[in-house]
Amino acid sequence: IENIVELESNIESYPNPGIKVFQYGTSGIRYNSEHLDHVLHRMGLLVALRSIHLKSAAVGLMITASHNPRDDNGIKLIDPLGEMLDSSWEVYATKLANAHNNQDVCAMLINIAYENNIDKKYIPRVYIGRDTRNSGKRLLDAVLCGVKAFNSNVEDFGIITTPMLHFFVRCYNTNGLYGQPSEHSYYTKLTNSFKTLRKMASKLHTYLIDKNIFACLDLKNYSPVIEFDGANGVGALKMKDAIIHLEETLVINMHNDDIMNTEKLNYKCGADFVKSNQCPPTGMTIKPYSKYVSVDGDADRIVYSFVDENNKFYLLDGDRIATLVAGYIKDLFIASGLDVNVGLVQTAYSNGNSTKYVTDKLITYYKILLLAIVYVLQKVPVACVPTGVKYLHHKANDYDVGIYFEANGHGTILFKDAIRELIRYQCSIEVEEAKSLALKKLICIMDMTNETVGDAYSDMLIVESVLCERGWSISDWYKTYSDLPNRLKQVTVKDRNTFETGDAERICLKPLGLQEKINSIVLKYSMGRSFVRPSGTEDVVRIYAEADTQTNADKLAVEVATAVY
């Protein structure tokens, strides 16, 4: 740090009004946007330091509050491979956000530089994106002020989805091996592989008869028509760009795409609304058996849904996507002849029947497919980790191919570098037609996946690929297994920090005695399961319950809530 006086005067531009204590948690920092200016400014300072520390690697800063109300905003920092910020720096972020006065901020920055042996010869490179919120531009100015204190190279990508920024950061730092840090490269990489796979999957070429009708003899029940719920946010904006690339493969009918009217952002629509309320999005006509796709306010989550002829609602959430994708990828590996360890990562919120489906049914399926000799090898292990994308992502790295999804619709697939290379190599030398085809399909799936983080657009392309190849309608997909009835509740407690959990949040360790109470309540319900955990984002304790019937799941949740209270 060359010029302390200059730095101090930079810091003075955004004093801390001291209204709130912030914590950099699983989703960065989020709060009412009115009180975030000094936080964003300080994160601008921090992100620049992080890049200097990482020898001028590009580090990302995303301004978004995702599915939260439109008056909120927030910030998330992105490390060089597109992953979440390293946890030791989360601690710095929390301290900096809360520092009372300007001298403290300055001292902390100097301290971070010392602790990490930061060499000032590196010029920072910072990649910035933001969602459609009104406050985004003002907060961007605060970030830029901070970032510029260190003479950074700044790339402001404007309004983009969170997963796009993760992708761009990784592209820059891997010298183009993953793609180029541009929207064009992002769309072409994901979409071209989608189109290639679709051509391989349908032996007869699909062609468009008119706007909504595709002709293809082997699509069976599959329909390429999607009713897209953009949550009135950036997901809608970007899907409009993507549509141009998707012609002749998908028909996307846009809804909830009013981004000019930010009042409407996430309001009664989008992935979080649909998942939390278990009902269709508003703002569009709901027709029986049409395929609805909802994304959230920064397009890193996706859920599918439909209603039947009696208007009964069916949700296909992250659990469903995970099981669909796991089954397909497992099939491709079996067909390719490669023996690869494919694993699934879930959280305690995952429906008990989705776990059961993967551990029991996927094996049975391969037994029939391949006879007894191979089936022992073909188990998809399921791991359970605490809520929060970073825990799932981390665990997924343990497998050759790790698939992770939170029930809320956030997830992706991770391929180990060695496996990626093995697939490409094997594909280049494979002579058997069926094996070669499976390997080519695997390459398409790899290239269609944004491995840095959950990405609604990428996930949608993957789901559509699998559904098309299976020839499934959305209700065929739903029929693969039935969810156990479940209920989510929350209670406001005096201090959520008095709650502590263990075993991936499935057991409550504190307050003492609560788990025993929960155990005895659960015992009364057939197929009962319930857990409580303190929220990481709100001052509440959440309760999850599942049982044999909806009435029982509801009763179980109420009983456990009473025990917590």
Residue nearer to ligand 16G on the CB measure, 430 or 451: 451
Alpha-carbon span 167 to 172, nearest angstrom = 9
Residue 23 within binding range of ligand 16G, rule CB under 6 A: no
Piece in contact with ligand 16G (CB under 6 A), picked from 189-197, 383-391, 472-480, 514-522 = 383-391
Q: How many CB atoms lie within 10 A of CB 516?
A: 11
Residue 538 within binding range of ligand 16G, rule CB under 6 A: yes
Contact 66, 29 (CB under 8 A): no
> Which partner from the list ligand 16G, Zn ion, none does 323 bind, CB cut-off 5 to 8 Å by kind?
none
Is 300 labelled as part of a ligand binding site? yes
Binding mask 271-310 for Zn ion (x = CB under 5 A): -------------------------x-x-x----------
Residue 408 within binding range of ligand 16G, rule CB under 6 A: yes
C-alpha distance across the termini of the chain, in Å:
51
Q: What share of the chain is helix, strand, coil (3-state, %, to 5)?
A: 45, 20, 35
Residue nearer to Zn ion on the CB measure, 40 or 340: 40
Residue 26 within binding range of ligand 16G, rule CB under 6 A: yes
> Which partner from the list ligand 16G, Zn ion, none does 296 bind, CB cut-off 5 to 8 Å by kind?
Zn ion
Alpha-carbon span 31 to 517, nearest angstrom = 35
Token look-up 């319900």 returns: 525
Catalytic residue among 33, 51, 66, 135: 66
Render 85-140 in DSSP notation, one character per residue: PPHHHHHHHHHHHH--SHHHHHHHHHHHHHHTT--TTSPPEEEEEE-S-THHHHHH
Alpha-carbon span 65 to 80, nearest angstrom = 22
Q: How many CB atoms lie within 10 A of CB 5?
A: 7
Is 534 labelled as part of a ligand binding site? yes
> Which partner from the list Zn ion, ligand 16G, none does 320 bind, CB cut-off 5 to 8 Å by kind?
none
66 is catalytic: yes
Helices and strands, counts by H and E, the chain: 20, 21
Residue 388 within binding range of ligand 16G, rule CB under 6 A: yes
Radius of gyration of the chain (CA): 24
> Which partner from the list Zn ion, ligand 16G, none does 192 bind, CB cut-off 5 to 8 Å by kind?
none
Residue 387 within binding range of ligand 16G, rule CB under 6 A: yes
> Which partner from the list ligand 16G, Zn ion, none does 188 bind, CB cut-off 5 to 8 Å by kind?
none
Alpha-carbon span 450 to 544, nearest angstrom = 30
Residue 389 within binding range of ligand 16G, rule CB under 6 A: yes
The residues assigned a catalytic role are 66
What are the residues binding Zn ion (CB under 5 A)?
A: 66, 296, 298, 300
Q: Annotated binding residues, as ranges?
A: 66, 296, 298, 300, 406-408, 533-537, 542
Binding positions for ligand 16G, rule: CB under 6 A: 26-27, 387-389, 406, 408, 410, 535-538, 542
